[in-house]
Chain A
Amino acid sequence: MILRLAPWFFGLLALFAWEGAVRGLDVPAYIVPAPSSVFQAFVADPLGLAVSLASTLTVTFAALLVAAILGASMAIGMATSRFAQAAIQPWAVALQVTPLPAIAPLIIIWVGDPFTSLVVCATIVAFFPLFANTATGLASPPPELADLFQLYGAGRFRTLTLLRLPAAVPYFLSGLRISGGLALVGAVVAELVAGSGGFASGLAYRILEASYRLEMPRMFAALVLLALAGIAINYGLGAFGDWVTRRRGNA
């Protein structure tokens, strides 16, 4: 119990120390705002920030969905054909190692539509863990089980549906959890790159806007919202994974 409360206690202590230091040392708000003024900045325009958060989250979840579908289906394609594996794998790795900020401007120009281009950017970041984890999961059953399926005359399709796919589910779920956080990062990076030329409504845009205007408390409020959203996505997807695992009974 005390261990559970420890992070909250520590966080609260840090907030008080921060507040005290800013007040005591008379630090100007445009360098470091006190927690209380960050809170005030949020209360001053909760709706605006919430709408921005919703916009960023829409991009995040759309990207996560696309990445999950693409990643899982490409991993399945690879598992069923060695040719597909040889053809796909190097490109998936190439996509993974290319830094998003470097290609985001290109994508934004090519795609045109701001929402779609943000989703494409975030998908690129979120794709790899889902793809790699699913591929690992599909290959995870021990060779003896594959032998057993062969012995009973099961073809590739039945081995896939009855053995490889169920075995890949936990791997896919942990990939989903990793990619959830990455999709948020991808969405924010893409928004930052797009700047005012983009969708102009996400949280990252609020951060840029606030920094141009030296509205540090508002910038911090947006940052806190982003951090909370990241934590919520991580725990939410973790809980979703646990729920699915429990329902299948192999907790």
Chain B
Amino acid sequence: MLTIATVGRRFPSGTEALRDASLRLQTGDFVALLGPSGCGKSTLLRLIAGLDQPDSGTITWDAGHKPQPGEIGYVFQDATLLPWATTEENVFLPLRLRGLTRTQAQRDIAAVLARVGLTGFESARPQQLSGGMRMRVSIARALVTKPKLLLMDEPFAALDEFTRHKLQADLLALWRDLGCTVVFVTHSIYEAAFLARRIVLMTPRPGRIAREIQSSLAPSPETRLDPAYATLVADISKAMEAALA
């Protein structure tokens, strides 16, 4: 889908957020960017989205493709919904910015809300919803344009563990059904091991990619009870410790 080649980013403050990062994204991938705070994983995500430009290196889409608005979905750590808008209006936003009317968008909105389990909450405002439901709205908003690439920046980090497990399982099901490519930033080894097919380990100061671990676990909720899952978590922990040492 796209190739990240020796990308570096230094902020005006002088912090070197990212050095020499190279990564190839295949269509249908589920990649986790895993590492402690300050390892440049969010910076890399923003660069992929085109919200920021690298100081060195290149990010090239395959076949010279230029991503159009709506081809990339982005989910932040906070749900970042418009507080004055209903669930439906919040999910409508990306389509509205592309010039669609509410009537034209209605079917897509209803479909995506059903997909994330929010049917019946169309006219609720964000502050009437729980943290987990707000995140569902945020995911629906990212999915409503049927993106090819879904970028997620620690989306479940602020949720309680039970809600997090539920949303992780739902995200896996979504990824299987929709077949879109996901890049998922996290600082949780467990989350990375449960969700991703490819786990990219990153280290801080300067942020760089240390190594990559492949997962052969089945993308299903039962994986959590699979001994192979525990083994993968242990492998990642060891590799992360070695990379940070």
Residues of A within 8 A of B (CB): 142, 144-145, 147-154, 158, 162-163, 166-167, 169, 248-250
**Looking at chain A's contact residues, is the secondary structure mostly helix, strand, loop, or mixed?**
helix
Q: Given A142-B78, A145-B80, A147-B51, A153 and B86 touching (CB < 8 A)?
A: no
Contacts of B93 in A (CB 8 A): 148, 152, 162
**Looking at chain B's contact residues, is the secondary structure mostly helix, strand, loop, or mixed?**
loop
Q: Cβ of B127 and Cβ of A250 under 8 Å apart?
A: yes
* Interface locus among B69-77, B103-111, B198-206: B69-77
In Å, the complex CA distance between A148 and B49 comes to 10
Task: Say whether B131 faces chain A, with CB atoms less than 8 Å apart.
Answer: no
Q: Cβ of B97 and Cβ of A149 under 8 Å apart?
A: yes
Give the contacting residue for A151; candidates B49, B78, B96, B125; CB below 8 A: B49
In Å, the complex CA distance between A248 and B86 comes to 10
The 8 A-B residue pairs with the shortest CB-CB distance in the complex, in nearest-first order: A153-B69, A152-B97, A144-B80, A144-B76, A154-B97, A250-B84, A152-B69, A248-B84
Give the contacting residue for A158; candidates B51, B97, B125, B145; CB below 8 A: B97
Q: Cβ of A153 and Cβ of B80 under 8 Å apart?
A: no
Nearest-neighbour CB distance to chain A for B11, whole angstroms, equals 14
Give the contacting residue for B80; candidates A142, A158, A166, A250; CB below 8 A: A142
Q: Cβ of B82 and Cβ of A166 under 8 Å apart?
A: yes
Q: Given A151-B69, A249-B125, A163 and B82 touching (CB < 8 A)?
A: yes
Q: Cβ of B125 and Cβ of A250 under 8 Å apart?
A: yes
In Å, the complex CA distance between A89 and B78 comes to 32
Task: Say whether B14 faces chain A, with CB atoms less than 8 Å apart.
Answer: no
Binary A-proximity of B140-175 (CB < 8 A = 1, otherwise 0): 000001000000000000000000000000000000
